């Protein structure tokens, strides 16, 4: 642009506008006014130039940020997609591994079925002839059934890997906070239930002393149900894992409750390789060797169950069967585990009274309530097992093995108890458990000079070994069951006494009729009825 054009297009209009403004304003000093006006116009142009420069810089910065942001978004999207694909791959691998493990579990169970058919004649309690008593025969049959279930559940342990146990151990530590929250709930339930049970015991004792009747367990059962009632909509898998591994610590390491009070304590005891070996060799009713797995094939020659000195490897010390104290503890914890912390009465009135002959409405209601309770218990147990199965096959396998081992041990101990009560000799092939009096950590064996529970010694021992909250709660349930059982035994005894009096009256009437007496003075209603017929 030439100088004349610049003056014409830029300076000229500004001067013209300045002169016009001056004419309109008519200042006292027109020259100063024009100068100030031109200075103002110049400042506005400079500000506009600065604003344009700033805007250009901002736009450049925005474009640069947009480019970097787009790059970060692309990288984040790639990372998310890659992580999502990795998660999918891990889930598919986990699902495939679980399916493979489940197939292996079913194959192991089928394998055990075939082998059990081959060794049907080889029983842990075989040898001497069984007594003819019906209850002993039933107990022996129960032992055999429990033995079969145990070996079916145990067969899968021969195929587990220590990596699977290591994963359970790691998960237990990672989810210890969830376990702690569940433990707090159980502690609260135990404290409330214990306090209320003590109050109810005092009230029932006073009522029994004043009325001379057996204490009713209805209030106690209602109390325990109210305290521990749960919805079971979502059963805690970490708590199942903690309880199962804790019970295995009781069985395998003879641990005290204080030694396994937290998930960290349990994880510290469980070494995957050692745990794998112990699970493979575990036998709940006989001593076993850690390096020798429990195989059904060995039963063909009775090699696994008969731990003779010739069969032991150098330096391999046999591990004794679980102590009775631990067997009882595991059974109690399993009850809390399988019922998910809810008390369900284990007493069936049909075991004490005739369901068809019961005429009272109260008895019919009790029978219906017992049937409903049994259905509820089975439903909760199935939910717990389903939760364990959804978690992992290995957790379900450990839970089932624990259940069958506990049932096998309880059935064997009951059978031995019946044999002893009947005065029969125990077969030589059966290995007797350790006596409770020889167990220093058994609080139930502490007695004073009057053969009563030594409360002071029990408290000292519990401070030393600790208290398992689940076991303590189960003891409260067992106490409630014993009160309920005593109630129905009293009803059954009273009914038998009435039936005995009626039978005696019938015999008396028949004797009087045999003598052809012409006049009979009857003092019992049943005698009159019989004589009239």
User: Is the model more confident about 369 or about 314?
Assistant: 369
Report whether pLDDT(398) > 60: yes
pLDDT of residue 522: 34
* Whole-number percent of the chain with pLDDT over 90: 46
What is the average pLDDT value for the chain, to the nearest integer?
A: 82
Q: State pLDDT tens for residues 513-522.
A: 554 333 333 3
Place of tokens 């007496």: 517
Q: State pLDDT tens for residues 252-309.
A: 999 999 999 999 999 999 999 999 999 999 999 999 999 899 988 876 555 444 444 3
Reported residue count of the chain is 533
User: Is the model more confident about 9 or about 476?
Assistant: 476
Q: State pLDDT tens for residues 196-230.
A: 778 877 777 676 666 544 445 555 445 444 444 56
Cα 494 from chain centroid (whole Å) = 40
What whole-number distance in Å separates Cα of residue 154 and Cα of residue 141? 20
Report whether pLDDT(92) > 80: yes
For the segment 356-360, the average pLDDT, to the nearest whole number, is 60
For the segment 64-91, the average pLDDT, to the nearest whole number, is 93
For the segment 44-64, the average pLDDT, to the nearest whole number, is 93
pLDDT of residue 302: 53
Reduced to 3 states, what is the DSSP secondary structure of residue 319?
Answer: strand
What residue spans define the domains of the chain? 3-86, 119-300+316-437+460-498, 500-532
User: Is the model more confident about 236 or about 362?
Assistant: 236
CB 189 within 8 A of CB 336: no
What whole-number distance in Å separates Cα of residue 274 and Cα of residue 415? 32
CB 322 within 8 A of CB 303: no
Opening angle at CA 348, ends 343 and 350, nearest 5: 165
Report whether pLDDT(529) > 70: no
pLDDT of residue 131: 41
- SS3 assignment for 457-502: HHHHHHHHHCCCHHHHHHHHHHHHHHHHHHHHHHHHHHHHHHHHHH
User: pTM for this structure?
Assistant: 0.76
- The DSSP line for 253-283 is H---GGGGSSHHHHHHH--HHHHHHHHHH--
Q: Which pair of tokens denotes residue 235?
A: 């059963």
End-to-end alpha carbon distance in the chain:
147
Q: State pLDDT tens for residues 116-152.
A: 876 664 444 444 444 446 788 888 999 999 999 999 9
Q: State pLDDT tens for residues 446-486.
A: 887 777 888 888 899 999 999 999 999 999 999 989 988 88
Reduced to 3 states, what is the DSSP secondary structure of residue 288?
Answer: strand
pLDDT of residue 487: 87
* Whole-number percent of the chain with pLDDT over 70: 79
pLDDT of residue 505: 58
pLDDT of residue 500: 73
What whole-number distance in Å separates Cα of residue 298 and Cα of residue 312? 14
């Amino acid at each position: 642009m030439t100088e004349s054009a610049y003056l014409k297009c830029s300076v000229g209009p500004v001067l013209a506008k300045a002169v016009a403004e001056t004419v309109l304003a008519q200042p006292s000093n027109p020259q100063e006014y024009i100068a100030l006006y031109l200075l103002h116009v110049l400042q506005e142009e400079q500000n506009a130039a600065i604003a344009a420069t700033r805007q250009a810089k901002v736009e450049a910065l925005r474009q640069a940020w947009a480019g970097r942001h787009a790059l970060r978004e692309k990288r984040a999207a790639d990372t998310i997609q890659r992580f999502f694909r990795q998660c999918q791959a891990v889930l598919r691998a986990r699902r495939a591994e679980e399916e493979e493990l489940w197939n292996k579990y079913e194959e192991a169970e089928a394998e055990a079925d075939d082998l059990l058919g081959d060794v049907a004649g080889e029983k842990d309690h075989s040898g001497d002839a069984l007594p003819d008593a019906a209850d002993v025969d039933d107990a022996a049959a129960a032992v055999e059934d429990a033995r079969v279930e145990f070996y079916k559940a145990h067969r899968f342990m021969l195929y587990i890997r220590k990596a699977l146990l290591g994963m359970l151990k790691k998960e237990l530590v990672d989810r210890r906070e969830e376990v702690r929250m569940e433990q707090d709930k159980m502690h609260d339930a135990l404290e409330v239930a214990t306090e209320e049970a003590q109050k109810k015991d005092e009230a029932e004792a006073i009522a029994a002393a004043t009325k001379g009747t057996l204490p009713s367990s209805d209030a106690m059962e209602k109390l325990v149900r109210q305290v521990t009632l749960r919805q079971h909509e979502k059963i805690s898998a970490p708590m199942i894992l903690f309880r199962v591994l804790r019970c295995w610590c009781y069985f395998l390491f003879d641990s005290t409750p204080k030694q396994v009070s937290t998930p960290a304590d349990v994880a510290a005891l469980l070494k995957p390789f050692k745990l794998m070996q112990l699970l493979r060799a575990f036998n709940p009713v006989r001593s076993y060797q850690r390096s020798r797995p429990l195989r059904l094939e060995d039963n063909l020659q009775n090699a696994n169950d008969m731990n003779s000195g010739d069969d032991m490897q150098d330096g391999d010390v046999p591990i004794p069967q679980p102590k009775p104290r631990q067997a009882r503890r595991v059974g109690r914890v399993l009850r809390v585990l399988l019922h998910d912390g809810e008390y369900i009465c284990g007493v069936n009135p049909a075991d004490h009274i005739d369901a068809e002959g019961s005429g009272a409405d109260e008895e019919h209601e009790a029978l219906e309530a017992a049937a409903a309770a049994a259905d509820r218990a089975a439903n909760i147990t199935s939910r717990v097992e389903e939760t364990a199965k959804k978690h992992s096959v290995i957790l379900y396998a450990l839970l089932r093995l624990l259940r069958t081992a506990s049932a096998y041990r309880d059935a064997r101990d009951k059978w031995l108890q019946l044999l002893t009560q009947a005065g029969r000799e125990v077969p030589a092939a059966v290995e007797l458990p350790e006596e409770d009096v020889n167990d220093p950590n058994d609080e139930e064996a502490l007695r004073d000079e009057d053969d009563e529970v030594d409360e002071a010694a029990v408290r000292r021992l519990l401070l030393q070994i600790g208290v398992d909250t689940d076991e303590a709660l189960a003891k409260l349930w067992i106490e409630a069951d014993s009160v309920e059982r005593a109630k129905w035994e009293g009803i059954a005894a009273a009914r038998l006494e009435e039936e005995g009096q009626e039978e005696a009256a019938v015999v008396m009437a028949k004797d009087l009729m045999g003598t052809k007496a012409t006049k009979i003075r009857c003092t019992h209603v049943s005698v009159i009825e019989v004589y009239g017929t």
